[in-house]
């Protein structure tokens, strides 16, 4: 009889397949959880793991079982210190099931819900599913930026896996051409010496010359086809992702016409832009400006949840943004992104003034400014702000209507597709 010990610890992730299956099964319940989380979480919290609560009824597994409340029951109970034969004990309405249930794992506890942690990837995937992101964009956002490598030409040393065959052969040809030329020269010399020796008819000299010739020939034969000095390797250089800073301005109209549904869309719009920026920039700062007819810089909570009455003046928010840029975020040190969400209402000259202000003051300082008109349009004619913004002709500007969750991404698509220009503002 032999006994053995096996260290099983390295075999990890046996439950992965089952986890994927249960998450898929729960996708409906999880989606509604994610909706609540989006409303509750701050923009910079989306990139983290989270806990969710699932109702047990969403994952119940039925089987034939006996109704604990029915019929006559009899039990044997330990630890009796109080009761005598014939005593009556009140029936516990919740318990009293005795044995019967509770045999299988997971049964036997009466909680209606259970909590578990969704990893960052799982959470973001659920978030992205609704936004209908293209697969490539999803992948880019899910990846945690680690140091990347880029090709760095050809070097002489490296590990065998990086051998560059073509360049190695090239080097080998060069070396052989050089070595053979030298060899032929030496061969001619040796042959000439042998001729001279034969002419001199001195046996010792002839022998020495013959030996020399043989040696030279051997040297020629010894020239290797490939030599360690020929080896060339592809080199990979670690690239530090640019250590740059960005600031993202969130501008939102909070007048009463912006209802909850619109704010929810706006939040998704800001979230996606923020996630995108955190992939590109080492540090992303957030500035929240809300406006009615007056603009205010506020914290995130107030931004999404606070209410304020008043009419609408977009220009006030743009001016506020410009003021903050001048005070705190010089364009030489920050990449400035503006994101504006509004229902498009504005009055009088405000829209045309805003459009002009954007072109003259903000766009020259910003890397990108995107306007999202959220929610269903109240009439068939375009809103005044939309019409005014239509006149902006700039590579750094984009606008889109976002009527549903699946339209959030198209509003930002241009930004995602755009190759980032080389000139980074260094932070």
Q: Given the complex with another protein, which of 52 and 315 has the nearer CB atom?
A: 52
At closest approach, how far in Å is the CB of 37 from another protein? 18
At closest approach, how far in Å is the CB of 117 from another protein? 8
DSSP β-bridge partners for residue 54: 114
- The three-state secondary structure class of 349 is coil
At closest approach, how far in Å is the CB of 47 from another protein? 22
At closest approach, how far in Å is the CB of 89 from another protein? 4
Q: Given the complex with another protein, which of 117 and 177 has the nearer CB atom?
A: 117
At closest approach, how far in Å is the CB of 10 from another protein? 10
Q: What gap in Å lies between CA 358 and CA 304, rounded to an integer?
A: 24
- Pairing, β 368-374 against β 397-402: parallel
Q: Given the complex with another protein, which of 1 and 201 has the nearer CB atom?
A: 1
At closest approach, how far in Å is the CB of 309 from another protein? 45
Give DSSP secondary structure letters for 182-197: HHHHHHHHHHHHHHHH
Q: What gap in Å lies between CA 303 and CA 296, rounded to an integer?
A: 9
Nearest CA among 241, 242, 248 for reference residue 367: 248
At closest approach, how far in Å is the CB of 23 from another protein? 8
Q: What gap in Å lies between CA 204 and CA 207, rounded to an integer?
A: 5
At closest approach, how far in Å is the CB of 34 from another protein? 17
What does residue 155 show for φ and ψ, rounded to 5 degrees? -130, 170
What does residue 127 show for φ and ψ, rounded to 5 degrees? -65, -45
Q: What gap in Å lies between CA 173 and CA 255, rounded to an integer?
A: 77
Q: What gap in Å lies between CA 66 and CA 64, rounded to an integer?
A: 7
Q: Given the complex with another protein, which of 37 and 248 has the nearer CB atom?
A: 37
Q: What gap in Å lies between CA 397 and CA 4, rounded to an integer?
A: 69
Q: Given the complex with another protein, which of 85 and 423 has the nearer CB atom?
A: 85
Task: Assign residue 60 a region (left: φ > 0; alpha: ψ between -120 and 50; beta: otherwise).
Answer: beta
At closest approach, how far in Å is the CB of 112 from another protein? 12
- The three-state secondary structure class of 265 is helix
What does residue 347 show for φ and ψ, rounded to 5 degrees? -120, 145
Residue 317: CA count within 13 A, CB half-sphere: 31
Q: Given the complex with another protein, which of 19 and 214 has the nearer CB atom?
A: 19
User: Do residues 369 and 363 touch, judged by C-beta distance below 8 A?
Assistant: yes
Q: Given the complex with another protein, which of 10 and 203 has the nearer CB atom?
A: 10
Q: Given the complex with another protein, which of 64 and 157 has the nearer CB atom?
A: 64
At closest approach, how far in Å is the CB of 27 from another protein? 11
Q: Given the complex with another protein, which of 94 and 327 has the nearer CB atom?
A: 94
At closest approach, how far in Å is the CB of 153 from another protein? 45
Q: Given the complex with another protein, which of 78 and 421 has the nearer CB atom?
A: 78
Q: Given the complex with another protein, which of 100 and 224 has the nearer CB atom?
A: 100
Q: What gap in Å lies between CA 343 and CA 254, rounded to an integer?
A: 9
Burial of 421 (0-12, 13-18, 19+ CB in 10 A): exposed
Return the DSSP state at 250.
Answer: E
Calculate the dihedral angle through the C-alpha atoms of 350, 352, 357, 362, rounding to the nearest 10 degrees: 100
Q: What gap in Å lies between CA 342 and CA 255, rounded to an integer?
A: 9
Task: Catalog residues that contact another protein under the rule CB under 8 A.
Answer: 1-9, 11-12, 14-15, 17-25, 54, 59-81, 83-91, 98-101, 103, 105-106, 109, 114-116
Q: What gap in Å lies between CA 135 and CA 126, rounded to an integer?
A: 13
């Amino acid at each position: 009889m032999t006994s053995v010990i096996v260290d099983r610890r390295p075999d990890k992730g046996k439950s992965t397949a089952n986890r994927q299956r249960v998450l898929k099964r729960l996708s409906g319940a999880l989606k509604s959880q994610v909706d609540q989380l989006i409303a509750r979480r701050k923009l910079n919290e989306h990139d983290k793991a989270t806990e969710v609560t699932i109702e047990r009824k969403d994952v119940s597994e039925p089987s034939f079982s006996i109704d604990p409340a029915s019929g006559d029951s009899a039990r044997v109970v330990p630890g009796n210190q109080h009761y005598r034969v014939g005593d009556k004990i009140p029936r516990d309405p919740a318990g009293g099931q005795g044995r019967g249930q509770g045999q299988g794992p997971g049964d036997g506890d009466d909680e209606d819900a259970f909590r578990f942690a969704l990893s960052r990837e799982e959470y973001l995937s659920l978030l992205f599913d609704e936004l209908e992101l293209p697969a490539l964009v999803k992948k880019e956002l899910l990846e945690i930026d680690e140091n990347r490598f880029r090709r760095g030409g050809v070097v002489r040393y490296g590990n065998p896996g990086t051998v560059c065959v073509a360049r190695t052969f090239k080097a080998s040809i060069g070396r052989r051409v050089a070595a053979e030329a030298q060899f032929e020269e030496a061969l001619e010399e040796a042959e000439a010496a042998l001729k001279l020796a034969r002419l001199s008819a001195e046996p010792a000299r002839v022998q020495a010359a013959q030996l020399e010739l043989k040696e030279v020939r051997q040297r020629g034969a010894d020239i290797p086809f490939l030599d360690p000095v020929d080896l060339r390797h592809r080199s990979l250089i670690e690239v530090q992702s640019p250590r740059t800073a960005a600031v993202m301005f969130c501008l939102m109209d909070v007048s009463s016409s912006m209802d909850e549904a619109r704010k929810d869309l706006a939040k998704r719009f800001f979230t996606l832009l923020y996630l995108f920026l955190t992939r590109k920039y080492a540090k992303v700062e957030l500035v929240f400006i809300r406006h009615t007819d007056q603009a205010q810089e506020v914290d995130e909570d107030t931004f999404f949840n606070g209410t304020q009455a008043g009419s609408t003046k977009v220009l006030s928010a743009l001016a506020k943004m410009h003021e903050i840029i001048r005070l705190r975020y010089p364009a030489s040190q920050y990449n400035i992104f503006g994101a504006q969400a509004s229902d498009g209402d504005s009055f009088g000259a405000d829209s045309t003034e805003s459009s002009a202000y954007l072109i003259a003051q903000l766009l020259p300082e910003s890397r990108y400014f995107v306007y999202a008109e959220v929610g269903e349009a109240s009439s068939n004619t375009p809103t005044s702000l939309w019409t005014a913004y239509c006149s902006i002709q700039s590579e750094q500007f984009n606008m889109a209507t976002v009527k549903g969750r699946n339209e959030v991404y198209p509003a930002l698509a241009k930004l995602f597709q755009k190759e980032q220009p080389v000139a980074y503002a260094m932070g």
